[in-house]
Amino acid sequence: MEPYATADELWAGALVFARVGAVVMLIPGVGEAYVPPRIRLSFALLLSLVFTPLVAPGLPPLPDQLSGVVGWMLRETLTGLALGILMRMTLSALGVAGEVVSLQTTLSFAQTANPLQAQPGTTLAAFLTLLGVTLIFATNLHHLFITAISDSYQLIAPQRPLLIQDFAATAVTTAAQAFKVGIQIAAPVMVFALIFNVASGLVGRVMPQFQIFFAAAPLNVLLGLSVFALSLGVGGMVFIEAYRRALAVFSGG
């Protein structure tokens, strides 16, 4: 390989690929289970070729021992996995919103395959998650993924100690923020369900002979889905803004 690249250049490229490949494996859109592995691998390799000349001055030299090589590769892989997990955690807000809306509209029993989570989930949760990935690419928010990977070499430099406590604190904050955003997206349906259930209970108390369940169940589904459809645009804007703020944290913004 010496005529094409020196050992130090190969080492720098492999070290960058370890972090970038781990991030690409988890980021929304490209890192989904239904994306062919060759596409993810090619995308990670392309990003590594772009980033290597930019970050090579800050990378550690090639170790003399095999244990040093393995240690550095594991460190960069763990760093990439941590970044990818944080980027994906915010997307779980849509899953939370879908589960809450399904529960409030009595559709939680309708399970379907969720291609983004590789496990069954409610139909509304799967729909919202796919909608979130579509909005990320439609609003060019995926460009911030590349910026976050590049800026991570300043925030988490390879030759500095791993920020384990900072990662744990950021993970807790991100999870709490994702749950908060999910509740905000589902808030209109929650308010409707509260009012509707109270009204149904009052009708049932006033008219005990009236079979309120048979009349309220279809109305709950119809009106709940109508409120959900009307609030979908605002919910998408709330999610995109929250995701933009989350990526700004990873980019040091």
Closest by CA position to 92, among listed 117, 67, 73: 117
Q: What is the DSSP letter of 44?
A: H
Q: What is the pLDDT of residue 183?
A: 92
Q: What is the pLDDT of residue 117?
A: 55
d(CA 146, CA 155): 14
**Total-model pTM:** 0.78
Phi-psi region of 135 (alpha: psi -120 to 50; beta: other; left: phi over 0): alpha
- In this predicted model, what pLDDT tens digit does every residue of 10-56 receive, in sequence order? 888 888 898 898 888 888 878 777 788 888 888 888 888 888 888 88
**Encoded tokens for 127:** 């729909």
Please answer whether residues 135 and 185 qualify as being in contact, where contact means their C-beta atoms are separated by less than 8 angstroms.
no
Q: What is the pLDDT of residue 189?
A: 92
d(CA 229, CA 232): 5
Please answer whether residues 7 and 42 qualify as being in contact, where contact means their C-beta atoms are separated by less than 8 angstroms.
no
pLDDT at 240 over 60: yes
pLDDT at 114 over 60: no
Strands 119-122 and 111-114 turn out to be antiparallel
